[in-house]
A = this chain, B = another copy of it.
Amino acid sequence: MRRKFIAELQVRDNVDEIYRVADKQVRSNRQGNDYLLLQLMDRSGQVSGLRWNSGQSAYESFQKGDFLRVMGTAQLHNGAMQLIVQDFEPVPRTKVNLADFERTSAAEMDQLLAELRTKLSSLSEPHLAQLAQSYLSDEEFIARLRRAPAGIKTHHAYEGGLLEHVLQLLRVADSIAPLYPQINRDLLLMGVFLHDIGKLDELVFEGEMVYSDPGQLLGHLVQGTMELDRRIARISADTRAEFPEALKWRLQHMIVSHHGQLEHGSPKVPMTLEAIALAYLDDLDAKINQASDLIESDRNTDSNWTNFHPTLNRKLYKPSLE
């Protein structure tokens, strides 16, 4: 039988399917009864799963990152789909069709990486080209980039999500750059490539998907800046050639300022044209993605309006133009 993906769940669907555990918690309700709150995922998305009257021993019967066969029913709660889990059992990884859990197949991922290489091979400034090459030829880096999500509870919260996000932003930057000749295309593209590189350290994405301790203490802006510091030191040591200091600072400034405002966690606001453009494009892409997700995931057919979205701080008008 064809698999029921999470994105396809409809209210009142009865489910008997394998999902992966992104997160798990034991909680008590006000009546004092324990229940399990699971975050279940497959390649199509995430859904909360609730197992009532179930406590510590059930909790300990599997790990984050494990696969569970889940029997239950789909419900809408506060506008979001959730699964009421009647029963579940762990399933060994070997019995699982792993392709169901990878948003992007290995072949698609290869294609994305190829596009990334093409974009970065177009850089003409020699130091930037060398820096890009250092990353692209670093196998461990590439392996981690294939697996990294772009966030925990956001649009790109799945393996490969970071690569997808960076590539989409490279495309947008590349399409806009010719319209603003005062912007240096090489710098803008390299800043786009590097801006979220600290997420490889900020997030844990082997099995579970959570923030790491240093990620919470320092954040991917500071972590990315340090990573670039070390990378450039290594290149200089390897090549015995000085990487221009001012160029390093510009790139680090783009990483550090890409949240655009102090209140959003950037210790410096963007102060170069390329840093300003990067911060805007990153925000534009995030907002359009959040808004499309909100519209797509809204399953209430009674109204032309989505529910109120706390981060966007608004409702959205759903009808598309026929």
Complex interface: stretch among A38-46, A109-117, A139-147, A312-320: A312-320
B-contacting residues, A248-277, CB 8 Å? 249-250, 252-253, 256, 262-269, 271-273, 276-277
Query: Contact partner of A226 among B187, B229, B246, B263, CB < 8 A?
Result: B229
Bound together, the chains give a CA A266 to CA B78 distance in angstroms of 29
Chain B minimum-CB-distance residue to A78? B27
B-contacting residues, A208-231, CB 8 Å? 213-214, 216-219, 221-222, 225-226, 229-230
Contact status B218-A256, CB under 8 Å: yes
Bound together, the chains give a CA A55 to CA B295 distance in angstroms of 24
Contact status B265-A268, CB under 8 Å: yes
B-contacting residues, A228-251, CB 8 Å? 229-230, 233, 245-247, 249-250
Chain B residues with CB below 8 A from A76, complex form: 27-28
**Binary B-proximity of A57-78 (CB < 8 A = 1, otherwise 0):** 0000000000000000101111
**Binary B-proximity of A189-225 (CB < 8 A = 1, otherwise 0):** 0000000000000000000000001101111011001
Chain B minimum-CB-distance residue to A306? B271
Contact status B73-A50, CB under 8 Å: no
Task: Say yes or no: is A52 at the interface (Cβ < 8 Å to chain B).
Answer: yes
Query: Contact partner of A172 among B32, B171, B179, B263, CB < 8 A?
Result: B179
Query: Contact partner of A268 among B27, B29, B219, CB < 8 A?
Result: B219
Contacts A247-B321, A273-B291, A316-B271 given: A171-B175 contact, CB under 8 Å?
no
Q: How far apart are A70's CB and chain B's nearest CB, in angstroms?
A: 14
Chain B minimum-CB-distance residue to A283? B280
Task: Say yes or no: is A288 at the interface (Cβ < 8 Å to chain B).
Answer: yes
Interface residues of A (CB under 8 A from B): 27-32, 50, 52, 73, 75-78, 82, 84, 125, 168, 171-172, 175-176, 179-180, 182-184, 186-187, 213-214, 216-219, 221-222, 225-226, 229-230, 233, 245-247, 249-250, 252-253, 256, 262-269, 271-273, 276-277, 280-281, 283-284, 287-288, 291-292, 295, 304-305, 313-317, 319-321
- Further pairs besides A218-B252, A263-B263, A277-B284: 16, Cβ < 8 Å: A32-B73, A32-B75, A180-B288, A216-B315, A217-B249, A217-B253, A218-B225, A221-B267, A222-B225, A229-B230, A256-B267, A262-B265, A267-B267, A272-B317, A276-B287, A280-B287
A–B Cβ pairs within 8 angstroms, 9 of them:
A28-B75, A29-B77, A32-B82, A216-B271, A222-B256, A225-B225, A271-B317, A273-B288, A273-B316
